[in-house]
């Protein structure tokens, strides 16, 4: 318990108006850990261009329905997919170099894709909620830095996941 009258410790997680969007990007790239575990040892490649095409086509349709610009929304999701690949490649290389660190269970890729689809819907809602904040400006860049740094620390991201998060957030301030 903090001493009475002292501020409570800051909650872990990404702060500021771009905090929820950043937290969702972190949640999505953490699902990349699960995707890597599902693919490890199966011969399934990290890249699945057909799945990407389906995801991006759906995102464009959903974006239009929500009043978001389909092209920039698709670009945002291309970054999320690129971030997942950073995580997957990094972890698969790490696990190959040091098999003792590899997960012992293989999750279902279909189940993870269902979770990814749910995160996509949450991200789309958050893109709508943050449209004004995300106008390119020094203010957006500052809010993004705050969310990135606090989210990375709060979630205990390692160097690989921080690199992936930078990829995921690169087009937030359009």
Ligand X SMILES: O=C(O)C(=O)C[C@]1(C(=O)O)C=C[C@@H](O)C=C1
**Closest CB to ligand X among residues 48, 163:** 48
**Closest CB to ligand X among residues 15, 116:** 116
Q: Is 55 in the site for ligand X (CB under 6 A)?
A: yes
Q: Show the site string, 59-98: x = touches ligand X by CB under 6 A, - = not.
A: ----------------------x--xx-------------
Where are the alpha helices (H) located in the chain, listed in sequence order?
19-39, 49-66, 70-97, 109-129, 138-154, 159-169
Q: How far is the CB of 55 from ligand X (least distance, A)?
A: 5
Angle ∠(162,164,168) on CA atoms, nearest 5: 115
**Closest CB to ligand X among residues 15, 35:** 35
Phi-psi group of 13: left, alpha or beta (phi > 0 → left; psi -120 to 50 → alpha; rest → beta): left
- Could you say which of 116, 127, 157, 173 contacts ligand X (CB under 6 A)? 116
Residues 80/168, Cβ–Cβ less than 8 Å:
yes
Q: What are phi and psi of 68, to 5 degrees?
A: -90, 155
Q: How far is the CB of 125 from ligand X (least distance, A)?
A: 18
Task: Report the candidate in 55, 47, 40 with the shortest Cα–Cα distance to residue 85.
Answer: 47
- Could you say which of 13, 27, 30, 52 contacts ligand X (CB under 6 A)? 52
Residues 117 to 146: which contact ligand X by CB under 6 A? none
Task: Report the candidate in 61, 56, 58, 62 with the shortest Cα–Cα distance to residue 74.
Answer: 56
Give me the residues that bind ligand X (CB under 6 A), please: 35, 47-48, 51-52, 55, 81, 84-85, 113, 116
């Amino acid at each position: 318990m903090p001493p009475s009258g002292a501020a409570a410790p800051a909650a872990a997680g990404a702060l500021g108006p771009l905090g929820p969007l950043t937290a969702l990007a972190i949640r999505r790239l953490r699902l990349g850990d699960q995707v890597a575990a599902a693919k490890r040892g199966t011969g399934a490649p990290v890249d699945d261009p057909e799945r990407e095409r389906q995801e991006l086509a759906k995102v464009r349709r959903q974006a239009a329905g929500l009043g978001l610009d389909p092209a920039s929304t698709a670009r945002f999701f291309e970054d999320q997919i690129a971030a997942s690949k950073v995580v997957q490649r990094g972890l698969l290389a790490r696990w190959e170099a040091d098999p003792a660190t590899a997960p012992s269970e293989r999750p279902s890729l279909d189940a993870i894709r269902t979770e990814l689809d749910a995160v996509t819907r949450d991200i789309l809602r958050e893109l709508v909620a943050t449209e004004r904040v995300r106008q390119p400006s020094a203010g957006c860049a500052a809010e993004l830095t705050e969310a990135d740094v606090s989210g990375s620390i709060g979630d205990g991201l390692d160097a690989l996941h921080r690199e992936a998060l930078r990829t995921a957030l690169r087009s937030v301030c359009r």
